[in-house]
Amino acid sequence: MPTVPPERAPLAAPEPREPHQARQVAESFGSDAERYDRTRPRYPDALVERIVAASPGPSVLDVGCGTGIAARQFQAAGCQVLGVEPDARMADFARRTGVEVEVARFEAWESAGRAFDAVIAGQAWHWVDPVAGAAKAAQVLRPGSRLAAFWHVFEPPPVVAAAFAAVYQRVVPDSPFNFQAMPKRALDVYQVMVTKAADGIREVGGFGDPEQWRFDWERSYTRDEWLDLLPTTGPLTQLPPDRLAEVLDGVGAAIDAMGGSFTMSYTTVAVTAARHDKRDR
């Protein structure tokens, strides 16, 4: 069991690889887009409301929109959302749910002179080069608008996390993901990503000082609900079915031993900065 959303797990890969350089994992989430959309948690309404309130208008660019989870929440809040997504399988799913999507990596995406009131990225900014990404965001954001990258940080109960780490290590001994060698708390690990995002924004310039916003919440998972979500996580998206089944069996047994369900504590963390007004530049 990863102790944090595994899409950040390339941080555990041998140095000097950065998450955004691990392209095989970065663009693997469409291997089961339907399951991804069905199982991945939504973002706190308070986060969406705060970003909308802090943006000067309703046009939103969703970087790495995936199946459109965040995009649809911003649409429901009254925004017009354009997604940019390199995985055509994710983009197709998002389009079927009513989200307009252009297929590209954000760093290479052509804005064609368009401008936005907010650039958002849910669980995706670590897959983007933090400097090139901030530069592209600065290019398309109107004065007074906002960049907001956010992630869910979660930590399953220790016994579930330990079962995942042990079985994953046994089933995939050659994996660059080493959960057993991960001593830090989830929020500490995430802080590394948040700091890299903030550093990229500062390096590019043209933004106010990046802030962090934090939203704490909980949800409970039955064994089946958690085992439904787990295959959508970075270390598992490319596992052959027999190895995946072994991992799920091991985690399932740990959840059974706890009575068949558990409560997950989530923290949704955002790093966000306002684009300077022209007069501030």
Q: Binding residues for ligand SAM, per CB under 6 A?
A: 7, 26-27, 29, 40, 63-66, 69-70, 84-87, 90, 105-107, 122-124, 127-128
Min dist CB 193 to ligand SAM, Å, is 12
Distance (Å, rounded) from C-alpha 129 to C-alpha 180?
A: 27
Q: Give 85 or 117: the residue with its C-beta nearer to ligand SAM.
A: 85
Specify the residue, 116 or 254, whose C-beta has the smaller distance to ligand SAM.
116
Return the number of the residue (4 or 163) whose C-beta is nearest ligand SAM.
4
Query: CB 154 → ligand SAM: shortest distance, Å?
Result: 13
Give me the least distance between CB of 2 and ligand SAM, in Å please: 13
From the CB of 3, what's the least distance to ligand SAM, in Å?
17
CA-CA distances (angstroms) from residue 273 to 144, 150, 164? 10, 12, 36
What gap in Å lies between CA 217 and CA 215, rounded to an integer? Answer: 7
Cα separation, 141 vs 110, whole angstroms: 14
Indicate the residue among 151 and 168 with the shorter CB distance to ligand SAM. 151
Q: Which is nearer to ligand SAM, 29 or 164 (CB)?
A: 29
Considering the complex, state which of residue 10 and residue 66 has its C-beta at the smaller distance from ligand SAM: 66
Cβ 19 to ligand SAM, closest distance in Å? 9
Distance of alpha carbon 62 from alpha carbon 74, whole angstroms: 9
The residue sitting closest to ligand SAM, measured at its beta carbon, is 66
How many Å apart are CA 271 and CA 72, to the nearest integer?
21
Nearer Cβ to ligand SAM, position 45 or 280?
45
Nearest-approach distance from CB 127 to ligand SAM, in angstroms: 3
- Contact between residue 219 and residue 156 where contact means Cβ atoms under 8 Å apart: no
Minimum CB distance to ligand SAM, residue 280 (Å): 28
User: Any idea which residue has 């530069």 for tokens?
Assistant: 135
Residue number, 85 or 155, with CB nearest to ligand SAM: 85
Shortest separation between residue 41's beta carbon and ligand SAM, angstroms: 9
